[in-house]
Amino acid sequence: MTIYAAKDYLDLSRKAANIISAQITLKRNSVLGLATGSTPVETYRQLIEKYRQGDLDFSEIRTINLDEYKGLSGEHNQSYRYFMNDVLFSHINIDLKNTNIPDGLEEDSEKECSRYNQVIRSMGGIDLQLLGIGGNGHIGFNEPSSFFEKETHLVALAEHTRKSNARFFTSVDEVPTHAYTMGIKNIMDAGKVLLLASGEAKAITLYDSFFGFVTPEIPASILQLHPNCIVIADEPALAVIREKTGWEGAVYDN
């Protein structure tokens, strides 16, 4: 993997948007794996800006999102469908029919998971997968576990995750207990992975993920084995890596 140091959140977002823009420019019908959470919000804003300036065309782009809360409809303002429409899709010339997110209202989890795996396959795989990282090392909603889940599955959200996502709801009790998420194999099959980490709350898990053992206890650690993984992290998120490895540069290749 290669780690790029960003001086702050804006710098991180601009770098990420440049990489995604290059992907779109080089392949106009790219399949983009997209992420939610607060980290990619400014990256999406930068992409919208590039679209408005006439530099990007999303008309042939297809997207597939990592995850969705089970039990929330796409109209619920905390669903990931609502989030994606709100922060990106409604501002660019993407065809909504080409955007995919698990259906949070599908009760039959086996049915929904196999439908979603089929969608990924029918798209011919993911060209570039954007990721954030949870404070406990989760990617998508692949929570710390004793094994890596391969494909889309229903997950019981970790207490840590529900507490940290409570800031978007009126109380922790309103945070859904379960979610649908792509699995680790779906993510590892992507041609490129772009993981973003911002803020000191991610510093320990970022170090553990990329400098520790590969273990399902820290799901992001599997990315050490991805042949084309780029990490962009701002200085607060890099604090522990800098301290423990002595790395002082702008680019770290491993």
The catalytic position among 42, 68, 143, 208 is 143
Q: How far is the CB of 57 from ligand GLP (least distance, A)?
A: 26
d(CA 51, CA 31): 17
d(CA 24, CA 18): 10
The catalytic position among 68, 138, 165, 235 is 138
Phi/psi of residue 2, nearest 5 degrees: -120, 130
Q: How far is the CB of 128 from ligand GLP (least distance, A)?
A: 15
* CA nearest to 216, candidates 152, 126, 148, 127: 148
3-state secondary structure of 74: coil
State which of residues 140, 176, 183, 219 lies at the interface with ligand GLP (CB under 6 A): 140
Closest to ligand GLP by CB, 23 vs 136, is 136
How many residues line the site for ligand GLP (CB under 6 A)?
14
Tell me the two tokens of residue 42. Answer: 């400014």
The residue count of the chain comes to 254
Q: Is 136 a catalytic residue?
A: yes
Q: Is 160 a catalytic residue?
A: no
The answer to whether 208 and 137 are in contact (CB under 8 A) is yes
State which of residues 130, 133, 203, 218 lies at the interface with ligand GLP (CB under 6 A): 133
The answer to whether 229 and 1 are in contact (CB under 8 A) is yes
d(CA 136, CA 132): 12
The catalytic position among 65, 100, 117, 136 is 136
Closest to ligand GLP by CB, 23 vs 142, is 142
d(CA 126, CA 34): 10
Single out the segment in contact with ligand GLP by CB under 6 A; choices: 12-20, 100-108, 119-127, 128-136. 128-136
DSSP string covering 183-222, please?
-HHHHHTSSEEEEEE-SGGGHHHHHHHHHS--BTTBGGGG
Closest to ligand GLP by CB, 152 vs 161, is 161
Q: How far is the CB of 63 from ligand GLP (least distance, A)?
A: 14
C-alpha separations of 161 from 40, 105, 179, 190, 217 in Å: 17, 21, 11, 25, 14
User: Would you state the torsion angle of the CA atoms of residues 196, 198, 201, 207, taken in this order, to the nearest 10 degrees?
Assistant: 50
- Each residue 18-37 as x (binds ligand GLP by CB under 6 A) or -, in order, gives -----------------xxx
User: Interface with ligand GLP includes 104 (CB under 6 A)?
Assistant: no
Closest to ligand GLP by CB, 27 vs 150, is 150
- Each residue 162-181 as x (binds ligand GLP by CB under 6 A) or -, in order, gives ---x----------------
User: Interface with ligand GLP includes 132 (CB under 6 A)?
Assistant: yes
HSE (CB half, 13 Å, CA atoms) of 147? 3
Q: Is 67 a catalytic residue?
A: yes
User: Interface with ligand GLP includes 137 (CB under 6 A)?
Assistant: no
* Binding stretches for ligand GLP (CB under 6 A): 35-39, 66-67, 132-134, 140-141, 161, 165
Active site residues: 67, 136, 138, 143
